Structure 1
């Protein structure tokens, strides 16, 4: 049934609709009674239907909901109706819309078509109340590992029993055929601090009723406050996905890691069938002047975060996830679609729950939006955002080459005129007197007020993997040379100021067979192939050692821009392909007095004059040795091509 949204719009001034300020929208369950309450100010009639199952069968009961204050409708059912399923249906301008869960639904049946009345306390795994977040001092201490739930365990060689499931990330002692740690043990062994999960709320593109292999990244939201059913062992029982998501968070916390959820409030999968449209057609989306859907997301619609009830929903949704699921951070997809006021209110609400929650997002859109850019949370407005970070694509593309041309090289492949963009990332995108902003590829001014607002990375789930990108832009390079480029790229990331972000599998040269936009490619493209860990064990060791170096040396993760300006000083190497800088005077309390970082992006070796000092070499290309003692007493450092060198003075 196709709905014509705009047949409703002339009769209702969306801006004039009453907002509801209460905190009780959705389903409120107790054993004595359950209250259903929705906001649907344009509805003339609203019906609630109860069902025995999440799909199929006739309604057990149909109830007319009563109109309340400020556009709300509600009904109360006496007695214990735990585990019953429900739908809500509105009549707007004389037309019945679709039966659907309410937008606040916390549990659903298979494929999210019916909500479920759930006792959330009954979904808590043993020990959940005692679940503790790992200690976190500063945001700049964070090292993020971006992971898709299914990718982590689905491969035949993962050694994981619950393949493709939330429970796959609870298993310990799992091994590859070669005997290497896989899954959660591998992530712990690598040394990162946070696991960023690609969208794991209930999404639209995978049919949860089928056991056949299906794949999607999950950027097509259906029910925002419910875990995805295809990642659960039983998609039909709404309790199971909730309990297993909590078990996953609990297991990750017990390993000393924190959990970030990728959230997608910028659009819905399908406007005509969305829960938003069934409640208040037209209200939750932005429109162009001609009434058509605005499309800054390139997904056919964009949500109107500036509208009071959209803002309210977003805030209450993330707070719910933070409290009910003990989450430690959120990554906002296409954050540049959202207005800054909403993002700042989200930050304030979440940091009341837990001041250590970390927030970041993509500071861009895919297309134009009718909401003026000066009001939106785009990258250049990060300075106006409160405790929210943005992805640093300046450094990313400086290192590897531009996003819109995979054949172009970057700094690590010897491309000229890229060093300043890399230096911009090294200082965490903050104001620094030695950066020539005219030469930075995208940003002609600093956009981070403090370094924790800058996500330092070279690749993520989007676009080819780092190893694939280097293969595409360097088609004649040997594998040995590609490995040097790969290690140099993330060696720079792991020694830069700001917050470090790694794409899962980079530490074993992950490949997707050169497929870039693999959002719906099969497992054979997307899965983590755990045999690569033993094949490229030296690369894994390098990543592990560089992560340890960052964690052991606070000079690489200074918490303030003022400290960076005081302690980080670039040196003139006399070569546009060689970047050099010092971290001076026990930066951020580091045990090393002075640290000298030299980076050769050229494929050719270079001799670089270094400052006088009692230097000891800790990193020489792929060799990492923090405990080195032998003095380096030459005036000139002979650098190999495509290599990172780190020297220190005690």
Structure 2
């Protein structure tokens, strides 16, 4: 029995895992001399010992329920080994003991600031303050924080601490010392490694208010853009290129005198601007504003502070906050609502993130073998089902909604999160404004969470008023995003008509193994988003021999489908003018030359843009194109034809009837067995058109009859 005990970890509230230097196979467990004692010298009965066939260097001792506020040690072979926190931090018992429902962060008042950090597994926490808020400022002082209930450490600094830069030094029982920013920081230094005390009154905007409550999610038309993309091009005519303020400049023109930026977007008629991540992220160096850098921003660093590279002065912690508010306020004044893209499912670097540095092992999911779960494909999955991660998400989202007057939240990889958390988020947001839209990617990803708990499309019915991106309409219409040259309805595939019509009618009766929507307000209808190929680039792959006009018509047909579908239509900015990224499938870190708007293209493809505007105008004016329940849809919409690459359906009430015909054939197509008397063609992708049964090749035709 010469082997050495190397570590002892509490993995359950009554179990300690012992790890040895070499195999313990063949030991006489009945006579094994192992003792468990605490810091006061009390000994604890070991009730059982477990060994493992596949791990012969480990055993587990079972004892009475442990007091996690105490320090323990194992005595084995005359040597004492300290017991540290292990997987117990990921148990319900840990949450029951330490979960905290109070405020955290730097709680400011002009008289004093109370710093509060949740770090229940730490043995000591110190507050370090710095001389100024520059990235490399020297230390000004260190203060030992007091441990309070639920593992919260606090320190009160008297006086007005507005603008004070700080971080925490967190010491653990095993001697590990971590330096970390405040996970609840509302302001940060350049590149976000240190936190800054914020006086909320100094970043308030005069008359900055919420917009009036929105009507219904199906009335929204969402336009997704990236802050830098929109304005960075030399020909944008925008002064604040790549900045928050660039989104709200009025009167900007390209070199040919045509509107760009805000004026152009407003002219489209969309209702909501969805902006790719604008919280502080780690993949751009904010200290080098003159060096061209691009990233989508799905690399969270500080969740509650805006990204500094979009500010005109990243070195001033307040500027980014004020300018982001000015952007939102400016968009609101133009009648445009703002959806924030949020990424709570993973972090930029788990090992260096404040979540791990303050409570190691708690905020992330782990596999049975102790490795970080990686369903996101980004190196980590956060554990939304744990009390303090859930609290964090709710606290963060309500902070953004209340202080930045946001109108919606788009959840990146929402399927990583759990149903209960998403429903609690919905409830918390409802207290601020129930018309705030919540939508997300409900993909079923391989994370360490049971399927029946995941916030995925299959479980959508358990998450009322939370919408999901509908990949069925996307792939049926244009072909799978996973197979570059696979076509869909618009680009040559056969027998897609019936499935596409199901999607057009709100995603009803789709494969129940994947989809289970409760109504059209849960269905985001789209063909293109920031990731994967743009629709134009996809068409180059699926139909390389098309001439330019055929490709234009296919694109117009595809872009029309979300606006003619029941649910929430969604568009990638520039989709209406056939945006291309030169064949780059995922341009998350591609240069500006790939990602920037080509501001000549909206006018080169003005025919497509004008038709897009006309469809938006029709959808806004006619409730039949945006019904609110499946019962209404089934009452008012009827299939007329779904064969031979043609889909035709009628929308009607007691006053009016519309016939919508989508012809994906490269030849003229015939609408059969439908009486067209008294119908007038009100919109056609081919310009003027009679109400003939003969439909032009690759076309969208909408007819109307007053009753």
Which residue of structure 2 lines up, in the alignment, with residue 90 of structure 1? Answer: 170
Structure 1 distance, partners of 2:242, 2:620, is 31
State whether residues 144 and 192 of structure 1, in contact with CA within 8 Å, keep that contact through their aligned partners in structure 2. yes
Which residue of structure 1 lines up, in the alignment, with residue 536 of structure 2? Answer: 467
State whether residues 8 and 93 of structure 1, in contact with CA within 8 Å, keep that contact through their aligned partners in structure 2. no
Of 556, 559, 569, the residue aligned with 1:487 is 556
Residue 576 (structure 1) shift: 3.5
2:204 corresponds to 1:158: no
For 1:516-595, list aligned pairs within 5 A. Answer: 516-572=585-641, 575-586=643-654, 593-595=656-658
Structure 2 distance, partners of 1:153, 1:231, is 11
For 1:18-167, list aligned pairs within 5 A. Answer: 18-51=97-130, 52-128=132-208, 131-133=209-211, 136-167=214-245
2:505 corresponds to 1:427: yes
Which residue of structure 1 lines up, in the alignment, with residue 73 of structure 2? Answer: none
CA offsets 1:127-148 (integer angstroms, 9 cap, x no match): 32xx341552111100000000
Structure 2 distance, partners of 1:203, 1:624, is 49
Structure 2 distance, partners of 1:618, 1:89, is 68
Which residue of structure 2 lines up, in the alignment, with residue 297 of structure 1? Answer: 376
Structure 2 distance, partners of 1:63, 1:182, is 52
State whether residues 54 and 115 of structure 1, in contact with CA within 8 Å, keep that contact through their aligned partners in structure 2. no
CA offsets 1:283-322 (integer angstroms, 9 cap, x no match): 0000000101111001111011101101110111111100
The count of aligned residue pairs is: 620
CA offsets 1:336-367 (integer angstroms, 9 cap, x no match): 010100000000100111011000100115x5
- Give the unaligned 5+ runs of structure 2: 1-6, 12-16, 18-83
2:579 corresponds to 1:510: yes
2:451 corresponds to 1:382: no
Which residue of structure 2 lines up, in the alignment, with residue 363 of structure 1? Answer: 442
Residue 622 (structure 1) shift: 4.1
For 1:51-450, list aligned pairs within 5 A. Answer: 51=130, 52-128=132-208, 131-133=209-211, 136-210=214-288, 211-365=290-444, 367-431=445-509, 437=510, 447-450=516-519
Residue 542 (structure 1) shift: 1.3
Please state whether the residue corresponding to 1:594 is helix, strand or coil.
strand
TM-score, normalised by the number of residues in structure 2? 0.85
Please state whether the residue corresponding to 2:487 is helix, strand or coil.
coil
Structure 2 distance, partners of 1:492, 1:572, is 16
Residue 95 (structure 1) shift: 2.8
Which residue of structure 2 lines up, in the alignment, with residue 589 of structure 1? Answer: none
Residue 23 (structure 1) shift: 3.1
Please state whether the residue corresponding to 1:428 is helix, strand or coil.
coil
Please state whether the residue corresponding to 2:541 is helix, strand or coil.
helix
State whether residues 134 and 253 of structure 1, in contact with CA within 8 Å, keep that contact through their aligned partners in structure 2. no
Which residue of structure 2 lines up, in the alignment, with residue 646 of structure 1? Answer: 702
CA offsets 1:452-481 (integer angstroms, 9 cap, x no match): 100000010011111111111110001111
Residue 420 (structure 1) shift: 2.6
State whether residues 508 and 540 of structure 1, in contact with CA within 8 Å, keep that contact through their aligned partners in structure 2. yes
2:683 corresponds to 1:604: no
CA offsets 1:34-85 (integer angstroms, 9 cap, x no match): 0110110000000101112231132111000100111101011000111111
CA offsets 1:508-531 (integer angstroms, 9 cap, x no match): 111100101110000000011111
Of 657, 679, 683, the residue aligned with 1:619 is 683
Please state whether the residue corresponding to 1:350 is helix, strand or coil.
helix
State whether residues 505 and 566 of structure 2, in contact with CA within 8 Å, keep that contact through their aligned partners in structure 1. yes
Summarize the Cα distance change of 1:244–1:624 in structure 2 as closer, same or farther, 3 Å threshold: farther
Summarize the Cα distance change of 1:372–1:446 in structure 2 as closer, same or farther, 3 Å threshold: closer
Please state whether the residue corresponding to 2:555 is helix, strand or coil.
helix
Structure 1 distance, partners of 2:155, 2:550, is 67
Compare CA radii of gyration and give the structure with the larger one: 2
Residue 451 (structure 1) shift: 0.3
Summarize the Cα distance change of 1:82–1:8 in structure 2 as closer, same or farther, 3 Å threshold: farther
Whichever structure has more strand as a proportion of its residues is 2
State whether residues 180 and 358 of structure 2, in contact with CA within 8 Å, keep that contact through their aligned partners in structure 1. no
Residue 198 (structure 1) shift: 0.4
2:528 corresponds to 1:455: no
CA offsets 1:525-580 (integer angstroms, 9 cap, x no match): 0011111122111221111111111111111000111100111111135x341111
Please state whether the residue corresponding to 2:128 is helix, strand or coil.
strand
State whether residues 109 and 199 of structure 2, in contact with CA within 8 Å, keep that contact through their aligned partners in structure 1. yes
CA offsets 1:223-258 (integer angstroms, 9 cap, x no match): 000100000011111100000000000000000010
State whether residues 458 and 466 of structure 1, in contact with CA within 8 Å, keep that contact through their aligned partners in structure 2. yes
Structure 1 distance, partners of 2:8, 2:250, is 53
Which residue of structure 2 lines up, in the alignment, with residue 628 of structure 1? Answer: none
Structure 2 distance, partners of 1:23, 1:359, is 25
Please state whether the residue corresponding to 2:483 is helix, strand or coil.
coil
Structure 1 distance, partners of 2:261, 2:621, is 24
Q: Which structure has the higher relative contact order (CA within 8 Å, separation 6+)?
A: 1
Please state whether the residue corresponding to 1:70 is helix, strand or coil.
helix
Q: Which moved more, 1:296-305 or 1:444-453?
A: 444-453
Please state whether the residue corresponding to 2:420 is helix, strand or coil.
helix
Structure 1 distance, partners of 2:134, 2:188, is 7
Structure 2 distance, partners of 1:620, 1:6, is 73
Structure 2 distance, partners of 1:443, 1:409, is 24
Structure 2 distance, partners of 1:113, 1:355, is 35
2:569 corresponds to 1:500: yes
State whether residues 542 and 622 of structure 1, in contact with CA within 8 Å, keep that contact through their aligned partners in structure 2. no
State whether residues 525 and 568 of structure 2, in contact with CA within 8 Å, keep that contact through their aligned partners in structure 1. yes
State whether residues 546 and 624 of structure 1, in contact with CA within 8 Å, keep that contact through their aligned partners in structure 2. no
State whether residues 213 and 435 of structure 2, in contact with CA within 8 Å, keep that contact through their aligned partners in structure 1. no
State whether residues 178 and 358 of structure 2, in contact with CA within 8 Å, keep that contact through their aligned partners in structure 1. no
Residue 408 (structure 1) shift: 1.1
How well do the aligned residues superpose, as a CA RMSD in angstroms? Answer: 1.8
Which residue of structure 1 lines up, in the alignment, with residue 38 of structure 2? Answer: none
State whether residues 545 and 624 of structure 1, in contact with CA within 8 Å, keep that contact through their aligned partners in structure 2. no
Structure 1 distance, partners of 2:633, 2:164, is 57
Q: Which moved more, 1:532-541 or 1:44-53?
A: 532-541
